[in-house]
């Protein structure tokens, strides 16, 4: 009887891990397929529709010169920018929510994307080159993170204080951006306006390669530091007992998340909802976080932002609508539901 009990108790964890691995593999394969389909649709649809084979050949410089121009100079940079920015936002949201153990933590709620917008708009106002805009966005994001840390760190990063402080920082930075845009000359106001709404329209390969290259480095660093994030999930006491310097680890992971979100904002502006929702989607599909969660969050963010941009381009009757308008429309009720769940007596009792 004892051996039977031991057998019953030891088999389920192994079976559970196998189920989790299967879900992860299925989700990853489905996500990659969906991303390829979305990318193909983005390259083939528009004012100049073309077959998928023609678009894919044009992507590598083959075929009619007109098709090559449309795909390589207009459609492909926009689509790749959405993929890169979405991946950065998804990964940043996952890191922040696990780091703070807070389902409401995300770059847009905490003011990071607002700071990135301020840095980018400030460089536009100064007449800087487009190549330097990601640098300005990164500096603005780090400034916002510093402000958030100064205002909220002494409260122990409590859920309510963190969200309220982040919203206050975001509102203040948004006001500063709007003031700068009002003072802009007319020819610069249009270029800066995208940083208040979020858009991947008009992205160039120079911007994509600059921010994308830095994004790859930041994602690689996040993957390297993933073990520290997993140890922090055990709690500060347990993490310290295992020899991890919790303060240094939290600072490193926070910097990585800010860098990811700021680079995403450099490409797409302050896009909301993606970083907030993606970690919840990944947890719902795959269960508790694993080593693959970060990669799946990047993949899900890329799919979500590219799909939202396709909706903006082809399904809505309003021409020129920024992708941030779609994600914000989805994100407002999502944030409200999360805040209500977080403050409900049942949730507090289970916390």
Instruction: Output the CA–CA distances (angstroms, integers) from residue 234 to 55, 229, 241, 245, 330, in the order listed.
Output: 49, 9, 10, 13, 32
- Determine the Cα–Cα distance for residues 118 and 132; give it in Å rounded to an integer: 14
Residue 96 in contact with residue 257, Cβ under 8 Å? yes
- Determine the Cα–Cα distance for residues 254 and 107; give it in Å rounded to an integer: 11
- Determine the Cα–Cα distance for residues 273 and 102; give it in Å rounded to an integer: 15
Residue 1 gets which letter from DSSP? -
Nearest C-alpha neighbor of 125 from the set 171, 185, 73, 169: 185
The pTM assigned to this predicted structure is: 0.84
3-state secondary structure (DSSP) of residue 127: coil
- Determine the Cα–Cα distance for residues 240 and 94; give it in Å rounded to an integer: 22
Structure tokens at 33: 């397929």
- Determine the Cα–Cα distance for residues 37 and 49; give it in Å rounded to an integer: 16
Residue 244 in contact with residue 231, Cβ under 8 Å? yes
Angle at 185 between CA 183 and CA 187, to 5 degrees: 140
- What residues contact residue 100 under an 8 Å CB cut-off, 6+ apart? 157, 162
What pLDDT does residue 2 have? 44
What pLDDT does residue 105 have? 79
Total residues found in the chain within this entry: 351
Domain 24-314 has CATH 3.40.30.10: no
- Determine the Cα–Cα distance for residues 149 and 225; give it in Å rounded to an integer: 21
Domain ranges of the chain: 24-314
The total of other beta-carbon atoms located within 10 Å of residue 322's CB is 21
Structure tokens at 245: 């310097």
What pLDDT does residue 34 have? 95
Write the pLDDT tens digit of every residue in 310-351. 998 888 767 777 888 788 787 777 767 766 765 554 444 444
What pLDDT does residue 135 have? 79
Nearest C-alpha neighbor of 70 from the set 53, 54, 84, 86: 54
Longest alpha-carbon distance in the chain: 83
DSSP E strands in the chain: the ranges are none
What pLDDT does residue 296 have? 93
| Residue ranges in the chain whose pLDDT is less than 50 | 1-11, 345-351
């Amino acid at each position: 009887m004892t051996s039977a009990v031991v057998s019953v108790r030891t088999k389920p964890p192994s079976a559970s891990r196998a189920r989790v691995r299967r879900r992860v593999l299925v989700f990853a394969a489905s996500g990659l397929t969906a991303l390829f389909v979305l990318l193909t649709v983005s390259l083939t649809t528009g004012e100049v529709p073309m077959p998928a084979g023609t678009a894919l050949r044009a992507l590598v410089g083959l075929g009619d010169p007109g098709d090559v121009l449309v795909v390589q100079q207009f459609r492909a940079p926009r689509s790749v920018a959405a993929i890169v920015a979405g991946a950065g936002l998804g990964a940043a949201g996952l890191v922040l929510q696990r780091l703070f153990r807070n389902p409401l933590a995300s770059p847009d709620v905490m003011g990071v994307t607002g700071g990135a917008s301020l840095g980018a708009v400030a460089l536009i106002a100064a007449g800087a080159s487009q190549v330097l805009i990601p640098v300005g966005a990164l500096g603005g994001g780090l400034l916002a993170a510093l402000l958030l840390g100064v205002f909220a760190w002494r409260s122990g990063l409590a859920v309510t204080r963190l969200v309220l402080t982040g919203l206050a920082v975001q509102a203040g930075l948004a006001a500063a951006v709007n003031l700068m845009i009002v003072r802009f000359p007319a020819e610069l106001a249009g270029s800066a306006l995208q940083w208040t709404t979020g858009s991947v329209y008009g992205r160039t390969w120079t911007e994509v390669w600059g921010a994308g290259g830095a994004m790859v480095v930041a994602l690689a660093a996040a993957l390297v530091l993933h073990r520290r994030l997993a140890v922090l999930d055990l709690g500060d006491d347990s993490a310290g007992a295992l020899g991890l310097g919790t303060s240094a680890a939290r600072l490193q992971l926070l910097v990585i998340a800010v860098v990811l979100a700021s680079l995403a904002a450099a490409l797409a502006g302050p896009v909301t909802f993606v970083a907030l929702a993606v970690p919840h989607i990944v947890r719902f599909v795959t269960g508790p976080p694993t080593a693959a969660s970060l990669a799946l969050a990047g993949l899900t963010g890329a799919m979500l932002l590219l799909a939202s941009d396709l909706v903006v381009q082809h399904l809505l009757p309003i021409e020129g609508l920024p992708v941030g308008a779609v994600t914000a429309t989805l994100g407002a009720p999502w944030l409200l539901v999360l805040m209500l769940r977080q403050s409900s007596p049942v949730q507090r009792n289970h916390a």
